[in-house]
Amino acid sequence: MKKLIYSVLFLAIAQLSFSQWNTDRIMNIGKNALYYEDFVLSIQYFNQVIKIKPYLAEPYMYRGIAKISLGDYTGAEQDCSLAIERNPFVPQAYFARGYARNNINKYEEAIFDFNKALEFSPENTDVIANRGEAKERNNDFEGAINDWSLYRKLNPKARGIDYEIGRIQLAMKDTAAAMASLDKHILSDSTNAMGYSVRALIKMLKKDENGAYEDYSKAVAYKSTYPGDYINRGILNVQRNKFNLALSDYNEAIRLDPKNTLAYYNRGLLRANLGDSNNAIGDLEKVVTADTTNYEARLQKAYMELKVGDMTAAINDFNFILKKYPFFVPAYYGIADAKSATGRKKEADQYRSLASEIINNKDYYKRKQNLVAKNQIAKETPANDLKKSVNLLEKLIVRDTDDQKYENKYGEGVRGEIQNSFADLKNERNFELNYFARVQETRRTNTYHPLISRFNGENMLSSSLKITNDVVTFTADLINSRFDEINKLTERIKNNPEDANLYFLRALEFSHVQDYSSAIDDLNHAITLHTDFTLAYFTRANLRCKMIEYQNYNQNEEKSDEKNKTNIAVKDESNKLNYELIIRDYDKTTDLAPDFSFAYYNKANILCSLKNYKSAIIAYSKAIEIDPDFAEAYFNRGIAYLYLNDQANANLDLSKSGELGIFQSYSIIKRIK
């Protein structure tokens, strides 16, 4: 029922003129949505207030707070700045902007904002605590300690202050002061695991392993959720020959953090020592997959592979190490052992000879290794940006275990912290002309254009033609009705063979039943009769796009078949021509209707598919220039920026697209940090 009320409410709002509403009422509804964690919905309400009264500070500030809740700190910083421009006497706006800046590593600017907020409210302990955190991140440790001391002065009953101060003193390498602070914290809060955890670390640094073990055990007893406590106690258990306890500790660390490579590495080494070689290899495989530069883990993995008789894998791992360290003697001996085990004695002897050569001339090869290292550093130039870009995109494309485990407490939909739900890194679809558009409740893209409205009016259509990129799923009955419509239009064309509009309408019906060839034939006929038929050029380009999609799908299915290689080459040439025709039709559309933003947008999508991201960005920008609320254009332009490794502009565009209703943006923003 609540979902139904929400839908009815939103549709009613979408259909009414907001200028008729009391903006205070809209603001209050937005605040209520924010309070109940309907962050995406609240942003839409604040957008409407901003449209009606752009001079107000409050809706920008609250929209910024909603974006903070969605992890969009860049967008939040912008909104809070706009609020401050309109009213520089709102402390909450400075506090919110400081919080956002603290999360995008703008520490000095965050401290400035917290200072401004404290000018209005000098005893606000929330602001003081956040300023202390910003100072600590900015390496102003004394300033951070002063803020925590001020916090305690204003709130004498607060717990955990000595812990915070002790942690900062440890960062300052003042272990004596840190120990004293943590002792005080544990006396006042003896069941808090964090105090024992940090004190144990200090004892480890002081080589007090017995004291460290005792404190780690207390941290664990009080349900510590920090994986490092279990890893460090596991290491101490290994030193005490308590191998089963150590294994349990590593298991718990991995349960708490399934991506913790240090836990996998230590568990792998322990399993290897216990003779559990196959599971040891599995753990070390996870380490080198997550971090290909962990050569120590790869070396241990290679030794384990030798032990279990997987000589191919061992040789591959040793060779991987030799690419980075070409004169690493143990790798040569390892390969020699692997080749001996497989009966390739002559090759094994060659590798042993190479190892002996390096040992006997170690000074010479040490100089050569240094030269190799310098050359590798020299290769880390702007030319390597593509590699970095690929790494960034890998983070976005791969769904990790945390994404899979996250369950929104509000279930499906757009309520709550939706940035924790996984969203695929793929472009929003092309816009097309269709009768059967889904209602996009949250998006603010302007889908009205006088060209479409005029066509609907002139042709007196029973159903209005709409521009959409989200068509309803066709049922069997709906498809049958389209065939009936094709037959009716065919009869009308017989009576009026010179009416271009009838060919255009029949082309749309052919496209509904996916008869693209017939549809394009009709569009060609319509354009011959009416050479300035803007919507026909636009639709013909769209249908050619769909034909290429279908051909590409079939081509992927055929790739493994040797006899189809010639056909695939022919199709590639055909596609190249079709791409040229598509772009030509979109250009013709914009020549005839320069304000038809959807043609620029669709053209940009084609350019993205051709990996011409710079030209695509220009086309998306033109669409946005025409419609500043074009949500899909911001979203796709943001993705194009990601492919060019321009994270700053990608963040800005994805933030804007989220503001305009594409809530999947927040998932991507979270993953590109």
Mean pLDDT of the region 94-120: 95
What's the pLDDT band for 368 if we cut at 50, 70, 90? Answer: low
Kindly state whether residues 298 and 443 are assigned to the same domain.
no
Kindly state whether residues 660 and 517 are assigned to the same domain.
yes
What pLDDT, in 10s, does the model give residues 221-259? 999 999 999 999 999 999 999 999 999 999 999 999 999
CA distance 170 to 92: 33
Out of 251, 281, 308, a domain closes at 308
Give the model's pLDDT for residue 540: 96
In a domain? residue 111:
no
Residue 26 has pLDDT above 70, yes or no: yes
Above pLDDT 70, what percent of the chain?
83
CATH number at residue 262: 1.25.40.10
Residue whose structure tokens are 């669409």 = 623
Residue whose structure tokens are 């007893």 = 221
Lowest mean pLDDT segment, chosen from 96-110, 497-511, 555-569, 598-612:
555-569
Lowest mean pLDDT segment, chosen from 130-144, 298-312, 402-416:
402-416
CB 439 within 8 A of CB 11: yes
In a domain? residue 267:
yes
Kindly state whether residues 472 and 501 are assigned to the same domain.
yes
Lowest mean pLDDT segment, chosen from 153-162, 239-248, 357-366, 561-570:
561-570
CA distance 195 to 181: 9
In terms of C-beta density within 10 A (0-12 exposed, 13-18 middle, 19 or more buried), how is residue 518 classed? middle
Kindly state whether residues 617 and 472 are assigned to the same domain.
yes
What are residue 467's DSSP bridge partners?
A: 433
Query: Which of 524, 53, 47, 525 lies closest to 62 in space, CA to CA?
Result: 47
Q: Which residues contact 394 (CB under 8 A, 6 or more apart)?
A: none
Q: Which residues contact 211 (CB under 8 A, 6 or more apart)?
A: 200, 203
CB 519 within 8 A of CB 536: no
Encode 51-88: b = buried (16+ Cβ within 10 Å), e = exposed: eeeeebbbbbbbbbbbbbbbbbbbbbbbbbbbbbebee
CA distance 195 to 184: 9
Lowest mean pLDDT segment, chosen from 30-39, 73-82, 530-539, 603-612:
30-39
Above pLDDT 90, what percent of the chain?
63
Q: Which two tokens stand for residue 118?
A: 């404290």
Query: Which of 433, 439, 430 lies closest to 451 in space, CA to CA?
Result: 433
Mean pLDDT of the region 654-658: 91
Kindly state whether residues 304 and 352 are assigned to the same domain.
no
CA distance 402 to 303: 32
Q: Structural domain of residue 249, as residue ranges? A: 225-308
CB 564 within 8 A of CB 558: yes
CA distances from 556 to 544, 553, 563 (A): 18, 5, 14
* Number of domains observed in the structure of the chain: 3
CB 85 within 8 A of CB 95: no
Mean pLDDT of the region 646-660: 91
What's the pLDDT band for 573 if we cut at 50, 70, 90? Answer: low
Q: What is the largest CA-CA distance in the chain?
A: 99
In a domain? residue 148:
no
Kindly state whether residues 297 and 331 are assigned to the same domain.
no
What are residue 437's DSSP bridge partners?
A: 471
Give the model's pLDDT for residue 554: 53
The mean of the pLDDT values for the chain is 84
In a domain? residue 279:
yes
Q: At what angle do helices 647-659 and 631-643 cross, to 10 degrees?
A: 160
Give the model's pLDDT for residue 418: 39
Give the model's pLDDT for residue 359: 86
Q: Which two tokens stand for residue 488?
A: 């009716």
Give the model's pLDDT for residue 252: 96
Q: Which residues contact 563 (CB under 8 A, 6 or more apart)?
A: none
Mean pLDDT of the region 21-29: 81
Kindly state whether residues 461 and 364 are assigned to the same domain.
no
In a domain? residue 266:
yes
Mean pLDDT of the region 114-130: 94
Kindly state whether residues 518 and 631 are assigned to the same domain.
yes
In a domain? residue 81:
no
The better pLDDT of the pair 1, 518 is held by: 518
In a domain? residue 538:
yes
CB 99 within 8 A of CB 129: no
Q: Terminal CA-to-CA distance of the chain, rounded, Å?
A: 38
Residue 553 has pLDDT above 60, yes or no: no
The better pLDDT of the pair 353, 383 is held by: 353
306-307-313-314 Cα dihedral, nearest 10 degrees: -30
Out of 316, 347, 380, a domain closes at 380
Kindly state whether residues 284 and 361 are assigned to the same domain.
no
Give the model's pLDDT for residue 419: 46
Residue 324 has pLDDT above 60, yes or no: yes
617-621-624-630 Cα dihedral, nearest 10 degrees: 0
Give the DSSP letter of residue 437. Answer: B
Give the model's pLDDT for residue 570: 45
CA distance 487 to 495: 13
In one-letter notation, the amino acid at residue 8 is V
What pLDDT, in 10s, does the model give residues 32-49? 878 877 788 888 889 989
Radius of gyration of the chain (CA): 32
Kindly state whether residues 497 and 443 are assigned to the same domain.
yes
In terms of C-beta density within 10 A (0-12 exposed, 13-18 middle, 19 or more buried), how is residue 213 classed? buried
Kindly state whether residues 345 and 483 are assigned to the same domain.
no
The better pLDDT of the pair 19, 441 is held by: 441
Kindly state whether residues 361 and 496 are assigned to the same domain.
no
CB 626 within 8 A of CB 408: no
> How far, rounded to the nearest angstrom, does the alpha carbon of residue 164 sit from its chain's CA centroid?
32
In a domain? residue 664:
yes
What pLDDT, in 10s, does the model give residues 173-228? 999 999 999 999 999 999 999 999 999 999 998 999 999 999 999 999 999 999 99
Query: Which of 227, 240, 161, 233 lies closest to 204 in space, CA to CA?
Result: 233
What are residue 432's DSSP bridge partners?
A: 468
CB 86 within 8 A of CB 70: no
Q: Which residues contact 466 (CB under 8 A, 6 or more apart)?
A: 433, 434, 435, 437, 447, 452
Give the DSSP letter of residue 433. Answer: E
Mean pLDDT of the region 509-522: 87
Q: Which two tokens stand for residue 447?
A: 């889908």
CA distance 480 to 596: 32
Residue 143 has pLDDT above 90, yes or no: yes
